[in-house]
Structure 1
């Protein structure tokens, strides 16, 4: 495994903690969490970029800024809303439709052929998600909005990831600017649509860890891995994230790993693995 690919694996490991830290931030509103976490992550990234004397690399065309800021802010606002308004294990697994959607979007966006193995893997993933919200699933009243947010988050991240391949010339250092832009965008939306909730010690800890890890360093690591490493291997390894993330939620007491959830996790991860290992 090349050093760049190993760097991308670090992002996958950090993303396994996204759901748990997001739950720790409750009851902060989703847009407030998004703004605070990106402010932390962007500030840390900007400090590193400045220390390396590469601030000039933040000068990118408007399209790159729109893509980076819109994708990062939109996905995380939807994701934090999903795990706040829906049982977190269910929302987390539904969100991990994004690797499967990447497979489907690769055909119309990047011109890559879809074979039977990829289609079979996609079908398994959707079957796992259908199991979560279909027969036997006990959903609290008012969970519908959270379920829609989880699916929408998957669509946004898959679209962002696939279209990122067309922006390989954008340097990794620019991610620091995108994070700060996402913080500003989420902050303005928070002021317009939400009420400020004073964070407690647990919420501040969650926001700090989110900004330092899965909503900060992970994007820099992933950018390096996707642009300089082996995206096929990283895509395959990414399907371990929903299983690891779900297990962390269960261990922390934020969910129950019953037979239905366990089978859904296997189907989502297994379907993604099947699709990613197709030639």
Structure 2
């Protein structure tokens, strides 16, 4: 296989795995509290990534360098981001939380204006208006002329998760750490914080094998293996846009898995809103295509 074909194959594996996690979230949250699920998933991912760091010979680097960055980065991801995201999934149907969470790329583009002094193009504005029209459609469940949300706090939490995720990546724009090392260090910071939150909060309880399996699955695939395959895809491809656009496959697959496995009825408002969000993301991607061609 050529480098690009390998990259696309790795990208498809990552997207395929990410498409299943919304279903895993909802199955686990039927019996587990959000903080319990996060603690278990982060612990599993920390062990997996740690093993990969050792296998690649980066153990000394991981133990001695980069901890000043990890101290604040770990509090943002996994602690703050997943606490807010899982709280949103706990309150909203999985299809709504998943669709709203996909606006993080647009949130990042908007935040890059004040934080990185980047210019906001006309296409950025159009893309934002289109995507956030989708957010409004989902939040109001199709009753777009009424300012009344089925779960306003759940919608707010989903949107705040996009803000945290976008800020995390913007603040890490100059992070010199290797991706796997950074992931392991951040989770090393997050685990004791999450342990304390569970210990002094709901406490550790046994919720059954299904919940345990769902938590392990989230740790292995949402936070672990999918991350590794995506990194392989990004580093092997000749032009980032070739794999970046694969992410558009994930929301429709997630939507149907939530319907088939969890039994959520697919709301027309979610479909319409998701189409608008993906259209906004596509507009944002297409405006960057000419600049990316030069990288080829």
Deviations 1:155-194 (A, max 9, x none): 1111112232221x21123122322332332222222333
Separation in structure 2 between the aligned mates of residue 67 and residue 49 of structure 1, nearest angstrom: 21
Larger Rg: 2
With over 3 angstroms needed to count, the CA separation of the structure-2 counterparts of 1:150 and 1:15, relative to structure 1, is same
- The normalised TM-score by structure 1 is 0.87
Match of residue 291 from structure 2: none
Q: C-alpha displacement at 1:198, in angstroms?
A: 1.5
Counterparts in 2 of 1:87-126, with a 5 A limit?
A: 87-126=93-132
Contact 2:11 2:246 in 1 (8 A): no
Match of residue 154 from structure 1: 162
Q: C-alpha displacement at 1:62, in angstroms?
A: 3.5
Separation in structure 2 between the aligned mates of residue 128 and residue 257 of structure 1, nearest angstrom: 15
With over 3 angstroms needed to count, the CA separation of the structure-2 counterparts of 1:128 and 1:99, relative to structure 1, is same
Contact 2:7 2:243 in 1 (8 A): no
Separation in structure 2 between the aligned mates of residue 6 and residue 165 of structure 1, nearest angstrom: 26
User: 3-state SS of the aligned residue for 2:266?
Assistant: coil
Separation in structure 1 between the aligned mates of residue 168 and residue 7 of structure 2, nearest angstrom: 21
Match of residue 172 from structure 1: 179
Separation in structure 2 between the aligned mates of residue 176 and residue 149 of structure 1, nearest angstrom: 26
Of 252, 257, 261, the match for 1:248: 257
Counterparts in 2 of 1:48-127, with a 5 A limit?
A: 48-58=52-62, 59-73=64-78, 74-127=80-133
- The normalised TM-score by structure 2 is 0.83
RMSD: 2.5
Match of residue 275 from structure 2: 266
